[in-house]
Structure 1
Amino acid sequence: MATDLTRRQLGLACAITAAAGFVDGIGFLHLGGYFVSFMSGNSTRAAADLASGDLLGWGKAIGLVAAFVFGVVLASLVTSKPHPSVAATTTPQRSPRHSPLGPQLHAIWLSVGILVLASACATASLMGVQPAEYAVAPLIAASMGAVNSTFTRGGEVSVGLTYMTGALVKAAQLFAARLKGAPQTGWLRYAALWVAIAAGSAAGAVSYLAAGLVVLWAAPAMLALCAGLVWRRRRL
């Protein structure tokens, strides 16, 4: 939960969420109303497209959902510890440089790597390699799925970074509690996450309209900066 994060962790979460909003703003305009990080919206689009007989649109929406899920699965495999039954039957390996920051960094760098590949495909498409464009959106969606594994606890995502409906609900609930006299300001943390994704989406949309798909390169740069800050701080 956002209320359990330190200030540095909250800053990292907001920075990643802003980057997710940035690519979602780009993707929404480029794909004509589909999302690369907001899968609830794609699920609604898929249902609406299917009901209206638009099988191509349905396939596009479902494909993005599948790519997002693939990214989550891939990140979970990279960041999670082996199941106890498996760990008990394997020989422990030495990892003297192991750090509790490892899972965070792995999830972020995995997302960066996928985004770099997506950006490279976008650049190739702009240079005339049209088939490369078809890989851009699924790769971005996979990277957004992967980055959601940055904050996990007990194998479960503790803070969602690319979907803000739950954050808005928590912000509203805690704000209502504050109005009733509860001495807490936790609602501001959830509100900050929403502001981050909204601001990032606006920046992505404006950048896309100004310069086109090439601005996608800014997204892996943002996340790489986040990873660098995590490594520098060592303790978040």
Structure 2
Amino acid sequence: MNSIDRSRRRLAVAAAALAGYVDATGFLSANSYFVSFMSGNTTRLGVDLVANPHTAVVPALLILGFVVGVFGGALLAAKAGQQRKFAVLSLVAALLAGAAVAGRSAELELAMALLVLAMGALNNTFQRDGEVSVGLTYMTGALVRFAQGLAAKVLGNGGAGWGSWLMLWLGLALGAVAGAFALLTWPAYALWLPALWALVLALLARRIALN
């Protein structure tokens, strides 16, 4: 976060909020499984393998889908060059729109598959030298960097930029609140909002790349 300018930091926070929103809707729709938090699904996989082996296929497929999403997004990002953010976020918007259509048709399995693909692809939005520079769907690293930066500031050893990592975490947390509220209040329309959200972010990313 510290190595990118303010407009890109805002884009990152908004994208993290998108991830939080989508993960909350998936969590509430699919028996407390995740569509973006693969550490949680890995724990569920381990527990299910011991306690309920017949259900272990669910987290396993979600993890596989996420990996496929990251893989496909990485290929697209590599081909898109300077318009990487626009291309990746456009793909995410299309996948989320597909999930919204599937959800309206009561095709929960298809909707979940498209959601997890979208969240995997989303992590290719911010790259440096072909690797993720800002993780958007997982916040453990962001909280570690926030806490380390805050400690460095208290010790007088720098720590500049710790607030940016805190904002990234807050983006995901507030997005999750919004996703849970939307799904419980307007379940028929809850998945259309993140599709539109991702499209707006794609257009903003294209504008940033052109400036």
* TM-score, normalised with respect to structure 1: 0.85
Q: Write out per-residue CA displacement over residues 190-213 of structure 1, whole angstroms, 9 at most, x where no aligned residue.
A: 100000000000110111111215
Amino acid at match of 1:59: V
Aligned partner of 2:154 in structure 1 is 179
Partner of 1:88: none
Give the partner amino acid of 2:102: C
Q: Give the equivalent residue in structure 1 for 2:117.
A: 142
Question: 1 CA distance for matches of 2:31 and 2:189?
Answer: 17
Whether the 8 Å CA contact 1:115–1:220 is kept in 2: the answer is: yes
Question: For structure 2, which runs of at least 5 residues remain unmatched after alignment?
Answer: none
Closer/same/farther in 2, CA of residues 213 and 185 from structure 1, 3 Å limit: farther
* 8 A contact 1:78–1:107 mirrored in 2: yes
State yes or no: 1:117 paired with 2:115: no
Change (3 A) 1:54 1:212: farther
**What TM-score do the two structures reach when normalised by structure 2?**
0.95
Structure 2: which amino acid aligns with 1:103? R
RMSD: 1.5
1:181 Cα deviation from its structure 2 partner: 1.1
The match for 2:65 is: 67
Determine if contact 1:23/1:36 at 8 Å carries over to the other structure: yes
Runs of 4+ in structure 1 deviating by more than 6 angstroms, as ranges, are none
Note the C-alpha offset of 1:78.
1.1
Aligned residue number for residue 6 of structure 2: 7
Q: What are the residue-to-residue correspondences of 1:193-232 with 2, within 5 Å?
A: 193-232=168-207
SS at match of 2:190: helix
- SS, match of residue 134 in structure 2: coil
Amino acid at match of 1:77: L
Q: Which position in structure 2 is the counterpart of 1:24?
A: 23
Compare 30-39 and 207-216 and name the one that shifted more. 207-216
Who wins on radius of gyration, i.e. which is larger? 1
Counterpart residue type for residue 206 of structure 1: F
In 2: Cα distance, 1:213 partner to 1:154 partner:
41
Q: In the superposition, relative to structure 1, how do residues 182 and 8 fare at CA in structure 2: closer, same or farther (>3 Å)?
A: same
Gaps of 5+ in 1: 82-97, 126-131
Question: How far is the alpha carbon of 1:183 from its aligned partner?
Answer: 3.9
- Deviation for aligned residue 1:231: 2.1
| 1:144-197 deviation per Cα after TM superposition (whole angstroms, max 9, x unaligned) | 000110111111111101000000001111100000013443110110000000
Q: How many equivalent pairs are there?
A: 211
Contact 1:78 1:106 in 2 (8 A): yes
One-letter code aligned to 2:180: A
